[in-house]
Amino acid sequence: MSCMSVLTQQVPNRLGTLYELIILNVSGRRFETWRNTLDRYPDTLLGSSEKEFFYNEDTKEYFFDRDPDVFRAVLNFYRTGKLHYPRSTETKYSRHILTVY
């Protein structure tokens, strides 16, 4: 059994296909998203198998020791393809963080 099958929930949609729910823990704040949302960007940390390094078997989550407020903007980028920085975050800092994910 792969860690992804343990981590994710398979949820049927109206068309009968399954989506996998992934849990990302960013410094204690949990974010949930669909696997296919992250798969849109396969050359990134979250979209590739590199994220497996951050998987915690005990909690069944991926853990990242990063700023959760900035991560919210990163996850919204994965969802919408548009990047909107938090007002409290400097643009230069946010661009650096985006390259991490």
pLDDT tens per residue across all 101 residues of the chain: 334 443 445 555 555 455 789 999 999 999 999 999 999 999 999 999 999 999 999 999 999 999 998 899 999 999 999 987 666 655 555 566 666 66
CATH numbers and ranges of domains, the chain = 3-100 (3.30.710.10)
CA distances from 66 to 2, 19, 72 (A): 26, 26, 11
Query: How confident is the model at residue 6, as a pLDDT?
Result: 39
Whether pTM > 0.75 for this model: the answer is no
Alpha carbon 62 to chain centroid, angstroms: 8
Q: What is the C-alpha to C-alpha distance for residues 99 and 101, in angstroms, rounded to an integer?
A: 6
